[in-house]
Amino acid sequence: MRRRAVAPLAVVMKRRAFSLVEVVIAIAVVSFCLFALLGLLSVGAQAGYDSSETVQAATMASLLISERRAAPTNTISSTFPILPLTNTMNPSSVYVAADCTMLSSSQTNLPVYRLAYKVTSNANKTASLYFCLSWPPSIDPTINPSEVKGRYEVFTCIPLP
């Protein structure tokens, strides 16, 4: 009977294992990928939060415009005291709360947005409305536009009676 030649132990271990350099490089690559994914996670979460604020502002602007369109005269509900469609409003003095009520001060009832509202009417019996909701409400976008976190602007026309 023939005996098989047995390879030395060092040769057998070298064939089966990774070297220390390979393990360190693999750990470095995995660590880099994990840190990159964690960075993307925070960016994605912030983008989701910003988009939800924009959607909320768009919904509120749509509500304000539809109520303005439904009552194009001075007779408007008490929760929405906007000037008639023949006037203009100072953009830096109106605040909007979360329940869509208008406020004259930024300290009462916790406003969510600052409203810039401009109306121009023409001879064709239409009024042009410009709405700009910006947040946070404590920052005036006409004075410090770089400090405004977000804004939603819409321009529409409303037929006058």
Q: What are 47's two structure tokens?
A: 């983008």
Structural element, H or E, at residue 17: none
Q: Is residue 38 part of a domain?
A: no
**Rounded-to-integer distance, Cα 49 and Cα 38, Å:** 17
Q: Is residue 107 part of a domain?
A: yes
Q: Is residue 13 part of a domain?
A: no
> Are the C-beta atoms of 97 and 112 separated by less than 8 Å?
yes
Question: Across the chain, what does the average pLDDT equal?
Answer: 77
Q: Is residue 83 part of a domain?
A: yes
Q: How many domains does the chain have?
A: 1
Domain that holds residue 97: 43-159
Residue 158's region, left for phi above 0, alpha for psi from -120 to 50, else beta, is: beta
pLDDT at site 26: 95
> Considering the entire predicted model, what is its pTM?
0.64
Q: Is residue 135 part of a domain?
A: yes
Q: 3-state class of 155 per DSSP?
A: strand
Q: List the 150-159 sheet strands across, edge first.
A: 102-103, 94-97, 111-121, 126-135, 150-159
Report mean pLDDT in 10-residue bins for the chain, 161 residues: 62 68 95 94 88 87 80 53 53 71 67 80 78 84 83 86 73
Q: Is residue 67 part of a domain?
A: yes
Q: Is residue 110 part of a domain?
A: yes
pLDDT in tens, 41-87: 989 988 888 888 888 888 888 887 887 777 766 544 444 555 555 55
Contacts of 125 (CB under 8 A, 6+ apart): 159, 160
Q: Strands (DSSP E) along 84-139, which ranges?
A: 94-97, 102-103, 111-121, 126-135
DSSP 29-83: HHHHHHHHHHHHHHHHHHHHHHHHHHHHHHHHHHHHHHHHHH--SS---TT--PP
> Are the C-beta atoms of 114 and 137 separated by less than 8 Å?
yes
pLDDT at site 108: 58
Q: Is residue 136 part of a domain?
A: yes
